[in-house]
């Protein structure tokens, strides 16, 4: 298997399994990778042979220790590059994900560690995701989704789940950026959209968007 393919599978399994607590289904992988489910089955069989995953037929997949180690390396590279692009090269948080998708596959530990050092060994990337250290150690936070908040509560935006340009530009427009403080005003009965106050302005967030915003109670 080509390393880039292996890496994309391992990273995606990692991202979908929430720190290896969940078993990942073929469907989820097919969706995330935009690949036919039949191809996912084949790939998982090979990854199982390579001992990067434990794939149980018709049930699901999870990473082995070896697979986890690799996945964390890829995630580290992705997030370090995103941070470097934003902090050192002046890119917007809405532009860096696609570039990091390519840069993450460049295999050179010295390079990544050098970038990390220049950045002061950051612990969070521009989207609020934790960056594993060189040994693969990663912080786990207990933040919640905006969709899980209650009216009248005050929260701080800690991160986003979706890294697409479209979504991040939409957040920029409403100043819903990392660190922003918000107050939940109401939740619409009709469609579950959330009305919150950010920078003294009312903002209406769709349920779909609320699933992609990570906050911390204040």
Please report whether residue 153 would count as binding DNA according to CB under 7 A: no
Q: Which of 30, 34, 29, 3 is nearest to 16 (CA)?
A: 29
Min separation Cβ 52 and DNA, Å: 12
Q: How many residues does the chain have?
A: 218
Please report whether residue 13 would count as binding DNA according to CB under 7 A: no
Q: Whole-angstrom Cα distance, residue 98 to residue 63?
A: 25
Paired tokens of 46: 């090979």
118 binds, among Mn ion, a second copy, DNA, none (CB under 5 to 8 A by kind): a second copy
- Half-sphere exposure of residue 208: CA atoms within 13 angstroms, side-chain side: 3
Binding-site size, Mn ion (CB under 5 A):
4
Please report whether residue 60 would count as binding DNA according to CB under 7 A: yes
Residue 41 or 165: which CB sits closer to DNA? 41
Q: What share of the chain is helix, strand, coil (3-state, %, to 5)?
A: 40, 20, 40
CA 91 to chain centre: 18
Helix axes 65-87, 96-103, angle to 10 degrees: 130
Please report whether residue 164 would count as binding a second copy according to CB under 8 A: no
39 binds, among a second copy, Mn ion, DNA, none (CB under 5 to 8 A by kind): DNA
Q: What residue has token string 């107050």?
A: 183
Q: Which of 105, 133, 138, 161 binds a second copy (CB under 8 A)?
A: 105
Residues in contact with DNA by the rule CB under 7 A: 1-2, 4-6, 25-27, 30, 34-44, 46, 57-58, 60
Residues in contact with a second copy by the rule CB under 8 A: 85, 89-91, 95, 99, 102-103, 105-108, 110-111, 114-115, 118
């Amino acid at each position: 298997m080509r390393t880039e393919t292996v890496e994309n599978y391992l990273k995606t399994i990692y991202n979908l399994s929430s720190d290896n607590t969940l078993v990942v289904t073929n469907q989820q992988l097919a969706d995330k990778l935009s690949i036919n489910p039949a191809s996912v089955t084949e790939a998982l069989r090979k990854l199982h042979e390579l001992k990067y995953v434990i794939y149980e037929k018709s049930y699901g997949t999870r990473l082995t220790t070896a697979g986890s180690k690799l996945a964390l390396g890829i995630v580290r590279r992705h997030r370090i590059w995103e941070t470097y692009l934003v902090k050192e090269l002046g890119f917007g948080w809405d532009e860096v994900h696609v570039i990091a998708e390519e840069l993450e596959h460049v295999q050179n530990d010295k390079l990544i560690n050098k970038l990390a050092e220049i950045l002061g060994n950051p612990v969070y990337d521009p989207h609020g995701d934790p960056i594993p250290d060189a040994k693969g150690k990663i912080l786990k936070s207990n933040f919640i989704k905006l969709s899980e908040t209650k009216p009248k509560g005050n929260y701080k935006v800690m991160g986003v789940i979706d890294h697409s340009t479209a979504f991040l530009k939409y957040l920029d427009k409403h100043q819903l950026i990392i660190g922003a403080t918000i107050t939940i005003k109401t939740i619409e009965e009709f469609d579950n959209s959330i009305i919150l106050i950010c920078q003294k302005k009312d903002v209406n967030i769709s349920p779909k968007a609320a699933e992609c915003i990570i906050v911390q109670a204040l």
